[in-house]
Structure formats: C-alpha cells, structure tokens
Amino acid sequence: MEWALSISRKRAEEIRDPLFILPLGSTEQHGNHLPLGTDTYIAEAIAERVAEGIEHSVILPTLSITYSWSWKGIPFSLYIKESSLKELLKEIARSSTQYNPKAFVVINAHLANDSAIKYAARDLSEELPDLRFFYFSYPPLEMLERDSEPSFTIHAEEIETSLMLYIKPDLVDMSQAVKEYPSKPKGYGKKAMVLGGLSRSGSFGDPTVASADKGRTYLETMANWIIETLKEEGVI
Ligand SMILES: [Zn+2]
C-alpha cells in the first residue's frame, strides 16, 4: 500500500498493475466538536485500511472540496457544483487509464457526493468499458450498531464522532459535543433546501455517546465491506 504523493518516479514505474483508490471527503462544518475536515479524514482512514493488505494499491490525493451545497454560508464550508465534481471524477479516472489500473476505486465519506459519483460511473462505463470503476459510500447503516436514535441525516453525530475519536482524537473536543435532533422541515427532499439554519450546534443526532472503540468497529466494518466486495468482483 502506498500514497501516490509519496512515490518516486522510479517506484511508480515499477508498479505495473496499480489499484487506484481515490478518497473523497469534504470541507464543511461538523459542529463545534469536530473539524471541517471530518469527512476527508474519515475517507482517508477507510482508504488506508482497505489498501493495507492489497499489493500495488495506490491511494491518490484526496478530493477535499466537493459537493457541500447544503452548508453554504457556514464558515468555511466550501463546495463545487455537482456537475463539476462528476466531470472531475471522470477526468481523473480517464487520466489514470494511461497506467493500466487493475481497478479505480472511489471511497466517499460525504453522502451528498453520491449522485455525482454514480453518474460519473455510468458515463465512464460507456466511454471506457474496460475500466473497472467502483464506488463506495458509508455502508448500509443497518451494518453499523448505534446507541443513539438516528436523525434524518447523518452529520456530526455518534458515527462520525466515534470515527474521529479513533482516527484523529486530537481534533475532537468532546466538551463541545451537543445532542441535537432538528425536526425535519416541511418540504425536505421535495425542494432545494440548505441545512445550515436547522441545527444550532451543527449536529444531527447524538455525538455525546461516541467512543473511539465504536469508531474502530465502524472503520473495520466499512473497510471489510469494501474488501469483501472487491473480492467478490475478482479485483483482489
Ligand atoms: Zn460528515
């Protein structure tokens, strides 16, 4: 397992059949107890855990400014258009095919990116049918055991906070963690709606019950789910 940004030209030339892994995070508010880079750190940690046992796996530089439209206006949440993200993914995947990758795997930790990734995958399947392009977001939530009730979206709550307590404890301030269940606004899912004003704390759910132990379990569950799928697909 190697990080692309750390590989020399000579080393890169030695790797003939790379498995490229592209982590996708975000730069967006995650309450007062978690950093803006929460999704980015989670995506990188999952990518690293997946890549660990895979020969010639190369983790590409993380895309950290993605589709965070819902939090616009909350410092310093940044976003690019969904169509730009879709094109960016296609261009990176297209460019990677010069080096005959065994597969190109996107590991996404920001749910709002899902549509852009899915449509990039569909376009690529037509344009580059030989490229084995896979994408993974958080696994089905029933795979992750929780002590708290879920809110209508996953954000800065038990799962993300636990993952961060395990991955980057120095960046978590549990004294600032607040349980908050904003009520689902009328028209949610039926019209364009920013989420910024709905949660005073920035959380949707209960981060106060988070723990590093749970974070380790979540990380293992997600990584194993991805590894199993890649095995089933005959990639590894
Ligand atoms: Zn997040």
Q: How far apart are CA 137 and CA 106, in angstroms?
A: 8
Residue-wise pLDDT tens digits, 177-232: 999 999 888 888 899 988 877 888 999 999 999 999 999 999 999 999 999 999 99
pLDDT score of 168: 98
Q: 30-45: string of b/e by CB count within 10 Å (b at 16+)?
A: bbebbbbbbbbbbbbb
Among the listed residues 113, 107, 109, the one whose alpha carbon sits nearest the alpha carbon of residue 80: 113
Q: How far apart are CA 133 and CA 19, in angstroms?
A: 10
pLDDT (mean) for 64-69: 97
CB atoms within 10 A of CB 168: 18
pLDDT score of 195: 81
In the reported structure, the alpha carbon of residue 66 is separated from the centroid of ligand 1 by a whole-number distance in angstroms of: 12
In the reported structure, the alpha carbon of residue 74 is separated from the centroid of ligand 1 by a whole-number distance in angstroms of: 14
The DSSP code sequence of 100-125 is: --SEEEEEE--GGGHHHHHHHHHHHH
**For the domain bounded by 2-232, which CATH number is listed?**
3.40.50.10310
pLDDT (mean) for 86-103: 98
In the reported structure, the alpha carbon of residue 4 is separated from the centroid of ligand 1 by a whole-number distance in angstroms of: 24
In the reported structure, the alpha carbon of residue 111 is separated from the centroid of ligand 1 by a whole-number distance in angstroms of: 8
Residue-wise pLDDT tens digits, 7-52: 999 999 999 999 999 999 999 999 999 999 999 999 999 999 999 9
In the chain, where are the structural domains located?
2-232
Q: For residue 111, name the pLDDT band (cuts at 50, 70, 90).
A: very high
pLDDT score of 130: 97
In the reported structure, the alpha carbon of residue 220 is separated from the centroid of ligand 1 by a whole-number distance in angstroms of: 18
Q: How far apart are CA 50 and CA 136, in angstroms?
A: 12
